[in-house]
Amino acid sequence: MNLLAKTVLVTRQSEQAAEFVDELARIGARALVVPMIRVIEPDSWEECDRAIARIGFYNGLVFASANGVKAFFRRAAEKGVDPQSVRSLGIYAVGRKTQETIEEQGYTVRFIPDNFSAESLVAGLEAWDVSGKRFLFPRGNLGRDELISGLKDRGAVVDVVEVYKNIAP
């Protein structure tokens, strides 16, 4: 697609749009940044803090967004979680950007699907027996439920904790 001299509307938060805006400029497009969401802390950290306190109880961590990764690991650090206790878990990511954000935090992703979707992640996890395994899924308030239901359908236990909120700007 030729974007030379075209204007592209970028709806991400300004602080998260910079890389995409730079790429658009590189190919000759003009970016107009108009944030349609703002990411803020959840109303309460209580559920997340309970999950963090028993991090060793989980078999895996599942992330569907870079925002979830950043918020969860920031909170875990604030709560004094030993990074080694997290490294012993399987960490799974829905997409490449999420994987990169996990790796920036110093962790290794065990699996990422070729097709970046919750359904593909669940299908890819069929190589492992997830029945009876417990997963922690830190996410935003508007997260989709396909990943949760897909894991539960395969016998996994999934604890969902809200680590950020998407709100109108």
69-80 pLDDT, tens digit per residue, is: 999 999 999 999
Same domain, 102 and 30: no
Going by pLDDT thresholds of 50, 70 and 90, the confidence category of residue 56 is very high
Question: In sequence order, what DSSP letters do the residues of 63-120 get, joined into one string?
Answer: ES-HHHHHHHHHHHHHTT--HHHHHTSEEEESSHHHHHHHHHTT---SB--SS-SHHH
In terms of domains, do 12 and 46 share one? no
Global pTM value? 0.85
pLDDT, tens digit, for every residue of 112-142? 888 777 778 887 777 778 899 999 999 999 9
Structural domain includes residue 1: no
Residue range(s) defining the domain that contains residue 27: 7-36
66 in the same domain as 11: no
What is residue 1's predicted lDDT score, i.e. its pLDDT?
67
Nearest C-alpha neighbor of 10 from the set 21, 22, 2: 21
| Under 8 Å between Cβ of 110 and 133 | no
Query: Which one is predicted more confidently, 100 or 5?
Result: 100
- CATH code of residue 100: 3.40.50.10090
Residues 102 and 21 in one domain: no
